[in-house]
Structure 1
Amino acid sequence: MPGIIIAILGLISCFFVYPNESFYDFVRRDAFSIPFIILTLKWSIAYSWEHIIRKDYRKVLFTVLPFIVLNLKIKVFTNQMSSFLPPFIDTVMINIIWTCVQIIGLCYIAGKKNYRQIGLVAGLMIYYTTDAPANPLNYFRFETFRITDIIADLFLPFLIYGWIYLAENYFNEKDYKNILNSKIQVISGQEYRFLYALVAFSCWVIIYESAAFMKALTNPYDGFSSHVILTRVIHFVMEVSIFYITASLTRNIVISRMNTIANHNGWLYFLHYIPVLNIIVWMIFSQKPQVHTTKSENAAFYLAKHEGGINNFIIILGVLFAIWNLYGAYQYNNYRPSAATAVLLLLMFAKLINYFFLDKGKSAIISLVVLGCLGACTQILALSVSERSVFVSTMAGVLSYFFLVEIFHPELDETDRTQLDETGIAGSDETNPPEIPEAIIL
Structure 2
Amino acid sequence: MKLFTVDQRLVINKLWIPVLATIVMLLPFVISRISQMESVSYYDLSFAMDGKLWGIPMNMILLLPVYVLMYSLEFFVLKNKRAVPVTLLGALLLTGFLLFESRASIAEGNARIYAYAGVECIIWVSLLLLRTYALEKKSKTDLITAIIAGLLISIMPWGHSIVYIINNFLESKYLAGFECMFGYAVFPMVYYLLVFVAENISKNNFIQAVKSKITIMDKRTYLFAVIALYAMIVGAAITTTNVFAPRGYGVLLHYITHVPLLLQLLVAMGVLLLAPYMLKNIVMARLLTVGKSGKLWLVGHFIPVINVIVTLVLFNSREVHSNEEENALLYVEEPESDVRYYFLIFNVFILIWGCIMVFARGRVSEGKLFLSLLSFRLTLVSVFFRHKWPVYVLCAISVICCCSIAYGEFAAFWMMQIVLSFYYMMEVFHPALYGEDAVLYHKAKDVVEEDTILA
1:178 to 199, 208, 226: 208
Give, in whole Å, the separation in 1 of the partners of 2:97 and 2:253: 32
- Residues 247, 399 of structure 1: 8 Å contact kept: yes
Give the match for residue 310 of structure 2. Answer: 281
Give the match for residue 317 of structure 1. Answer: 346
- The yes-or-no answer on 1:407 pairing with 2:435 is no
Give the match for residue 374 of structure 1. Answer: 400
1:294 to 324, 327, 330: 324
The alpha-carbon distance between structure 1 residues 103 and 396, as it changes in their structure 2 partners (threshold 3 A), is farther
Give, in whole Å, the separation in 2 of the partners of 1:124 and 1:164: 9
- In structure 1, stretches of 5+ residues that fail to align are 133-142, 381-385, 428-442
1:351 to 345, 354, 377: 377
Q: SS of the counterpart of 2:216?
A: coil
Give, in whole Å, the separation in 1 of the partners of 2:395 and 2:301: 19
The alpha-carbon distance between structure 1 residues 196 and 104, as it changes in their structure 2 partners (threshold 3 A), is same
Q: SS of the counterpart of 2:337?
A: coil
* One-letter identity of the residue aligned with 1:401: F
How far does residue 131 in structure 1 lie from its aligned partner after superposition? 4.1
Q: SS of the counterpart of 2:386?
A: coil
How far does residue 250 in structure 1 lie from its aligned partner after superposition? 0.9
Give the match for residue 395 of structure 1. Answer: 416
Give, in whole Å, the separation in 1 of the partners of 2:90 and 2:255: 38
- Residues 240, 268 of structure 2: 8 Å contact kept: yes
The alpha-carbon distance between structure 1 residues 69 and 90, as it changes in their structure 2 partners (threshold 3 A), is closer
- Residues 124, 151 of structure 2: 8 Å contact kept: yes
Pairing of 1:196-207 with structure 2 (within 5 A):
196-207=226-237
* One-letter identity of the residue aligned with 1:279: V
Give the match for residue 140 of structure 1. Answer: none
How far does residue 203 in structure 1 lie from its aligned partner after superposition? 2.9
Q: SS of the counterpart of 2:303?
A: coil
Instruction: Decide which moves more: 299-308 or 390-399.
Output: 299-308
How far does residue 398 in structure 1 lie from its aligned partner after superposition? 2.4
* One-letter identity of the residue aligned with 1:159: V
The alpha-carbon distance between structure 1 residues 110 and 360, as it changes in their structure 2 partners (threshold 3 A), is same
- Residues 354, 364 of structure 1: 8 Å contact kept: yes
Give, in whole Å, the separation in 2 of the partners of 1:116 and 1:240: 23
1:218 to 215, 232, 247: 247
1:249 to 270, 275, 278: 278
Give, in whole Å, the separation in 2 of the partners of 1:220 and 1:294: 48
- Residues 96, 124 of structure 1: 8 Å contact kept: no
In the TM superposition, structure 1's runs of 4+ consecutive aligned residues that sit over 6 Å from their partners are 16-20, 25-32, 79-84, 329-333, 421-425
- Residues 104, 123 of structure 1: 8 Å contact kept: no
Pairing of 1:149-168 with structure 2 (within 5 A):
149-168=180-199
* One-letter identity of the residue aligned with 1:318: N
Between the two proteins, the alignment pairs up a number of residues equal to 400
Q: SS of the counterpart of 1:222?
A: helix
Give the match for residue 57 of structure 2. Answer: 34
* One-letter identity of the residue aligned with 2:181: I
Give the match for residue 383 of structure 1. Answer: none
Give the match for residue 14 of structure 2. Answer: none
Give, in whole Å, the separation in 2 of the partners of 1:46 and 1:413: 37
TM-score, structure 1 normalization: 0.73
Q: SS of the counterpart of 1:224?
A: helix
The alpha-carbon distance between structure 1 residues 80 and 278, as it changes in their structure 2 partners (threshold 3 A), is closer
The alpha-carbon distance between structure 1 residues 292 and 322, as it changes in their structure 2 partners (threshold 3 A), is farther
Give the match for residue 64 of structure 1. Answer: 91
TM-score, structure 2 normalization: 0.72
Q: Per-residue CA shift, 1:345-376, capped at 9, x if unaligned?
A: 54333113222222121112222212322332
CA RMSD of the aligned region, Å?
Answer: 4.2
Give, in whole Å, the separation in 1 of the partners of 2:361 and 2:145: 52
- Residues 107, 115 of structure 1: 8 Å contact kept: no
How far does residue 178 in structure 1 lie from its aligned partner after superposition? 1.5
- The yes-or-no answer on 1:7 pairing with 2:7 is no
- Residues 276, 420 of structure 2: 8 Å contact kept: yes
- In structure 2, stretches of 5+ residues that fail to align are 1-16, 161-172, 448-455
As a proportion of its length, which structure holds more helix?
A: 2
Give, in whole Å, the separation in 2 of the partners of 1:265 and 1:389: 30
* One-letter identity of the residue aligned with 1:361: H
- Residues 192, 253 of structure 1: 8 Å contact kept: yes
